[in-house]
Amino acid sequence: MNPLEIPEIVIRRLPLYLRTLNLMAAQGQTVTSSQEIGERLGISSTQIRKDLSYFGEFGKQGTGYNIEYLREQLRQILQVSQRWKVALIGAGDLGRAVLRYSGFEEGGFEITAVFDKDEQKIGRQIGKLKVLDIAKLHEVIREQGICIAIIAVPASEAQEVADALVNAGIKAILSYAPLPLRLPSNVQVHYIDPVIGLQSMTYYLSPEQI
C-alpha cells in the first residue's frame, strides 16, 4: 500500500491508538478489541479496523488484537520505534515546561538541545541540558543530526526561528506560536494553540453561562 494514498486523517488517528495501547499495556492488559479501543477514544470500532487495514492485518477474528504486537506495529508505522532527537527553541516558561514533560520520551522523542537568544538564559542548566546560544542553532543541529524541532518562542520571533530551522535542515516542526509559519512544502508542521481549542468550545456554551 503506497503511503501517498493513505489519508492524512488516518495517520492523525494512529498516535491515539498507540497511546491507548500504551495505557492498556501499562495496566497489564495483553489483548484488546477494536470496540474497546473505540470506546475509550470515542471512535467507532469500524473506523479503527479500517484505519489499521491500510497497513495490514493485525488482529485475530474472535479474539481481537494482541496489545504488544499491535503497539510494535504502530510504532514501526509511525517510525517511533527508535528515538528521535529533538531541538527545543525557547527556554522561557513554556520551554522549561516542555523540557520537563516526560511524555516525549515515552512517545519516542528526546530533547537533546535547547536554544535561546536571551543572554540571561544562555548557559543556564535545565535538567540535563545547558541552554545554548541560538547563534549555534545550525551548527548543533547538523552535528547532532537532528531533524525535528519544537518552537516555544514568542509569536513575534517564531517565523525568524522557523527560517533558521529550515536552513539548518529541520524537517518537522511543532510550534506553540499562535500563527501560521511560512515553510517549504517538504517541511512538516503541527501547531499547538490552547486558545483555538477554548474558543471552539465557547461557541457551544449557552449564553446564560457567560
Partner DNA sequence: CTTCTATTGTGCATTTTAGCACAAAGTAGG
Partner DNA sequence: CCTACTTTGTGCTAAAATGCACAATAGAAG
User: Applying CB under 8 A, which residues contact a copy of itself?
Assistant: 3, 11-12, 14-16, 18-20, 23, 40-42, 77-80, 82, 84, 86, 92-94, 96-98, 100-101, 103-104, 106-109, 147-148, 150, 171-172, 174, 178-180, 188-205, 207, 209-210
Site for DNA contains 34 (CB under 7 A) = yes
> What Cα–Cα distance (Å) separates residue 135 from each residue in 93, 115, 158, 205?
21, 9, 15, 46
Residue 73 Cβ, how far from DNA at the closest point, in Å? 10
> Cβ–Cβ contacts within 10 Å for residue 177, how many?
22
Dihedral angle of Cα 65, 25, 99, 9, to the nearest 10 degrees: 20
Strand partners, 65: 32, 59
Helix, strand, or coil (residue 132): strand
29 touches DNA (CB under 7 A): no
Q: Considering beta carbons, is residue 47 or 159 the nearer one to DNA?
A: 47
Distance of CA 110 to the CA centre of its chain: 12
Q: How far is the CB of 70 from a copy of itself (least distance, A)?
A: 15
Report the interface residues with DNA, using CB under 7 A. Answer: 7-10, 33-35, 43-47, 49-50, 52-53, 57-65
